[in-house]
């Protein structure tokens, strides 16, 4: 196999014919597989089935609260303790809220839009810009777009967002109010922020007094190949007196059951109290019985880590399939770059420029639904039309092998089409 860019027009034309035939055969065989989202597989969910059947024998919490009744705005002691131990965040800085960290992020943005923070002008009342490391998580971007916040792309490096650019922008422009971070095993690149990156985010001078770090630690314990370390944002912000900028999110969605898990928001001493005041108007409290079921299943942080080891093993099988196939089939062709994440849920790939949309389109036309090309960028605009998020978790291993083969054919065809145009 030769690198595609070294092929002559004639060679490319022949290759295109061969690939087109192969593609038509795939299409004729028919497949239906949705790999658009980072959904856990049934085998992953099965690991938590005890939650479905374990009775709640004791609904009285360690603090004497009847979990069946109203009350406890910020979560029962048990579950706050569990997350505090797991994430090394003081209990007083944690609010347990509902089933979805995405919902907590949306509500946090809405709160800032309407009320500002610490007495600042509400974000909805002035020009507001948000820094978005790219590629990133489409649902984060959708929230910013919903509120009309202007998103600014920040290039992602191997150790997190390009901090030279971030520091310069936040220092100069007070309309820049936040940066969206998925600091460990980022979606989609699997990037882990280095200690230096985290420290710079904690330390950096911001023109906006109400600047917020949206710290979506969605994959905090989602190790697959290797257990990567993340510096503690609370400790570093304490060191630099910038605790007010923390908005920390985490959930058990990709630990137990998505949609039936438990999510948290955490913040510095001042801002968590401000959030609690609004929470106290918004709700009487969240589902304490679900908190109790979740706690009973894990009991402590070690219980979560043991569970994540099993989950990681299941994910590793899937990641291996994708990465091995790419190594064997695609690496020699010089038409794709990809991340080899140590954990998380995704593999991020970059095609030749201008080939992502076409690859996804080709896949879709033969029944393989991938995440939309462009989705990993604000406004769905990938300037190079090259990034695609691969979400390998949901299919079975057999389905995934087939899907990656199909993906490779689509990618090869799209690449050849593109190269031919340049000849």
- Per the document, the length of the chain is 423
- 70 contacts a copy of itself (rule: CB under 8 A): yes
Among residues 74, 107, 199, 385, which is the contact residue for a copy of itself, using CB under 8 A? 107
Q: Would you say 249 and 216 are in contact if contact means Cβ atoms under 8 Å apart?
A: yes
CB of 253 to a copy of itself, least distance (A): 8
Q: Confirm if 185 and 276 have CB atoms less than 8 A apart.
A: no
Asked if 146 interacts with a copy of itself (CB under 8 A), we say: yes
Q: Shortest distance, CB of residue 261 to a copy of itself, whole angstroms? A: 9
Size of the site for a copy of itself (CB under 8 A): 50
Cβ proximity to a copy of itself: between 71 and 155 the closer is 71
Within 10 A of 397 (CB to CB), how many other CB atoms are there?
15
If phi > 0 it is left, if psi is from -120 to 50 it is alpha, else beta; for residue 55 that is beta
DSSP 91-126: GGGEEE-SS-HHHHHHHHHHHHHHH-STTPPPGGGS
Question: CA torsion 380→107→217→179, rounded to 10°?
Answer: 60
Instruction: Compute the radius of gyration of the chain from its Cα atoms.
Output: 23
Q: How far is the CB of 54 from a copy of itself (least distance, A)?
A: 8
Is position 14 an interface residue for a copy of itself (rule: CB under 8 A)?
A: no
The answer to whether residue 259 forms part of the interface with a copy of itself (CB under 8 A) is: yes
CB neighbour class for 99 (10 Å; exposed up to 12, middle 13-18, buried from 19)? buried
Structure letter (DSSP) for residue 156: E
Least distance in angstroms from the C-beta of 119 to a copy of itself: 15
* Contact by Cβ (8 Å): 95, 276: yes
**Alpha-carbon span 350 to 257, nearest angstrom:** 31
Looking at beta carbons only, is 278 or 364 nearer to a copy of itself? 278
Q: Residue 41 or residue 404: which is nearer to a copy of itself going by CB?
A: 41
Q: Which is nearer to a copy of itself, 31 or 110 (CB)?
A: 110
Q: Specify whether the backbone of 285 is left (phi greater than 0), alpha (psi in -120 to 50) or beta.
A: left
Select the residue interacting with a copy of itself from 190, 258, 268, 395 (CB under 8 A): 258
Shortest CB 102 distance to a copy of itself, Å: 6
- Binding residue for a copy of itself, selected from 1, 6, 53, 119, defined by CB under 8 A: 53
Q: Does 55 bind a copy of itself (CB under 8 A)?
A: yes
Q: How far is the CB of 347 from a copy of itself (least distance, A)?
A: 19
Say whether residue 379 binds a copy of itself (CB under 8 A): no
Least spacing, CB of residue 229 vs a copy of itself, in Å: 29
Among 39, 77, 357, 380, binds a copy of itself (CB under 8 A): 39
The one segment of 38-46, 188-196, 342-350, 374-382 that binds a copy of itself by CB under 8 A:
38-46
Which residue in 2, 5, 29, 52 binds a copy of itself (CB under 8 A)? 52
* Shortest CB 165 distance to a copy of itself, Å: 27
CA-CA-CA-CA torsion sign (340, 345, 348, 349): positive
On whether the CB atoms of residues 86 and 99 are closer than 8 A, the answer is: no
Residue 416 near residue 5, CB atoms below 8 Å: no
Whichever of 161 and 258 has its CB closer to a copy of itself, that residue is 258
**What's the CA gap between 98 and 363, in Å, rounded?**
36
Judged by CB under 8 A, does residue 143 bind a copy of itself?
yes
290 is a contact residue toward a copy of itself (CB under 8 A) = yes
Contacting residue, 13, 22, 37, 334, with a copy of itself by CB under 8 A? 37
| Contact positions vs a copy of itself (CB under 8 A) | 37, 39-40, 42, 45, 48, 52-53, 55-57, 59, 66-71, 98-100, 102-103, 106-107, 110, 113-114, 124, 139, 142-143, 146-147, 253, 257-260, 278, 281-290
């Amino acid at each position: 196999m030769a690198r595609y860019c070294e092929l002559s027009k004639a060679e490319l034309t022949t290759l295109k014919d061969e690939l087109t035939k192969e593609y038509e055969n795939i299409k004729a065989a028919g497949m239906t597989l949705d790999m658009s989202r980072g959904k856990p597989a049934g085998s992953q969910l099965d690991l938590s089935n005890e939650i479905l059947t374990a009775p709640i024998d004791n609904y009285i919490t360690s603090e004497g609260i009847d979990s069946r009744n109203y009350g406890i705005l910020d979560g029962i002691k048990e579950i706050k303790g569990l997350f505090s131990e797991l994430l090394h965040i003081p209990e007083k800085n944690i609010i347990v809220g509902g089933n979805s960290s995405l919902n907590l992020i949306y509500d946090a943005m809405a709160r800032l839009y309407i009320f500002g923070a610490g007495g600042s002008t509400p974000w909805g009342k002035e020009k507001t810009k948000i820094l978005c490391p790219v590629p990133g998580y489409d649902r984060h971007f959708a929230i910013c777009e919903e509120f009309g916040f202007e998103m600014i792309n920040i290039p992602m490096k191997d150790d997190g967002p390009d901090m030279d650019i971030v520091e310069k922008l936040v220092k100069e422009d007070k309309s820049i109010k936040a940066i969206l971070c998925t600091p460990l095993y980022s979606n989609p690149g699997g990037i882990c922020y280095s200690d230096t990156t985290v420290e710079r985010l904690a330390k950096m001078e911001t023109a906006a007094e109400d600047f917020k770090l949206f710290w979506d630690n969605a994959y905090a314990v989602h190790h697959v190949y290797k257990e990567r370390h993340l510096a503690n944002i609370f400790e570093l912000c304490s060191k630099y007196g910038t605790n007010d900028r923390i908005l920390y999110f985490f959930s058990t969605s990709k630990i137990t059951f998505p949609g039936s898990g438990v999510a948290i928001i955490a913040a510095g001493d001042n801002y968590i109290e401000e959030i609690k005041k609004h929470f106290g108007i918004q709700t009487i409290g969240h589902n304490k019985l679900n908190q109790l079921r979740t706690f009973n299943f894990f009991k402590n942080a070690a219980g979560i880590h043991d569970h994540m080891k099993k989950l990681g093993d299941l994910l590793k099988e899937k990641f291996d399939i994708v990465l091995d196939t790419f190594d064997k089939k695609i690496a020699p062709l010089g038409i794709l770059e990809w991340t080899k994440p140590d954990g998380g849920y995704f593999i991020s790939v970059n095609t030749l420029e201008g080939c992502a949309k076409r690859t996804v389109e080709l896949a879709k036309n033969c029944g393989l639904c991938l995440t939309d090309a462009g989705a990993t960028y604000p406004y769905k605009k990938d300037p190079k039309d090259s990034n695609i998020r691969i979400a390998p978790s949901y299919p079975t291993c057999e389905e995934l092998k087939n899907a990656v083969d199909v993906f490779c054919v689509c990618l090869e065809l799209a690449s050849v089409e593109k190269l031919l145009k340049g000849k």
